[in-house]
Structure formats: C-alpha cells, structure tokens
Amino acid sequence: MTTVDDLWYLADVASQQAEQTYHALTERHDGFVEFTRRRRVPRPRFRTVAEDARDHGAPFGAHTLAYRPSGELLLVRHEGVDKWVLPGGELDGDETFREAAIRELGEEGGIEATIEGLGMLGRVEFYCDGNDTWGVLPVFEARAETIDPSVDDPDHEISAARWFGELPDDTRDREEILRWRDRRFD
C-alpha cells in the first residue's frame, strides 16, 4: 500500500499564511529592517515549522528589541543555541504578536517595555526533501520602562539577561540588530 505524503500541501498552506501575515505586518508598519534566512532542516523539524507557519504565519513567534534611551539593548542567553539572542518566542493560544512579544520579554528578560513599532521583519525559508515553505519573524522595538533584568523562563532555555552597549560576537542575528540600531539611534 502506498502512503500519500501531505507535506507538500502543508508547506503550501503555510506559505500562503506567511504571505498573508507578511502583508498584514507591512501594511501596519514602516521603517523596519528586513532580512532573509534560509535553513535546510530535517523532515520532523520541517513539519513542525510548517504547522506553526500554517497556524499564524510565524514559526518562531515574536521577539523584541528592548532598548534604553542610551542605546543599550537587552539580550538573553539561550542555552539551546549557546548564543545571546533577542527575547521572544511562540504565541500562546490566541495571543497577538505584540502580546506574545511583551509576555516573552517579561519571562525571559524580566522587564516591562512599551512597544513603539516593528523594528525588524525576517523571512525564514525552510527546505527539506524537495519541499519548501517560509514564515515571518516579527521583531518589535520597545522602550524599556524597567531597567533591572531578571529571568523567569518557564521553558528553562534562558540562563541570563543583560543590557549591552556593544553586542557580543556570539549574538544571533548580530548584523541585522546592528543595522536596526544604526537606523534607530543615528
């Protein structure tokens, strides 16, 4: 008996949702940094990101560029990738991207901030066994209202939160963050 693989269909539906999400975000925001990432992933991971993109267009949820007026940025140490990263993560239930970004900022960085708009918008493309799909990565910019970071990450992936004037060399998406900062603070 032959099994029909629905991965191509899932990838197509996910790409359509990503396209709708991309257009909805770009219609509401301007002046953000755009970037693209391409990733070849194993089949189980491809299915997971395609399902997330199908559900809301964003396989990695929403993230935040939390800053102080001095230009310092909040980064968190993600042990799973062994890098400093922007706080953020998956959407819970019916959360909006903004709500998820603020919740994740509180859990991973322990600070409160006011979102001022979209700072960056990534396009993350995934490839596996002749299939391809993509999703968006919305990264909001937010002015910090509290300054003492602390970590209360329920997933236990984040081990530290710190403000940085100069980004560490092992910062994920370092080039794009620096482009945003140059645009924001020049």
User: Are 163 and 16 within 8 A, CB to CB?
Assistant: no
- The answer to whether residue 85 is domain-embedded is yes
- The answer to whether residue 123 is domain-embedded is yes
Can you name the residues that pair with 161 across neighbouring β-strands? 76
- The answer to whether residue 125 is domain-embedded is yes
Distance CA 139, CA 35 (A): 11
Distance CA 43, CA 66 (A): 34
Can you name the residues that pair with 171 across neighbouring β-strands? 84
Q: What is the pLDDT of residue 2?
A: 41
- The answer to whether residue 98 is domain-embedded is yes
pLDDT in tens, the chain (186 residues): 444 578 999 999 999 999 999 999 999 999 999 999 999 999 999 999 999 999 999 999 999 999 998 889 999 999 999 999 999 999 998 999 999 999 999 999 999 999 999 999 999 999 999 999 999 999 999 999 988 999 988 888 999 999 999 999 999 999 999 999 999 887
* CATH number of the structural domain spanning residue 139: 3.90.79.10
- The answer to whether residue 147 is domain-embedded is yes
- The answer to whether residue 149 is domain-embedded is yes
Residue 98 is part of which domain span? 7-185
- The answer to whether residue 38 is domain-embedded is yes
State how many domains the chain has: 1
Burial grade of 92 (CB within 10 A; 0-12, 13-18, 19 or more): exposed
- The answer to whether residue 124 is domain-embedded is yes
Distance CA 11, CA 134 (A): 8
| Closest by CA position to 138, among listed 39, 21, 42, 15 | 21
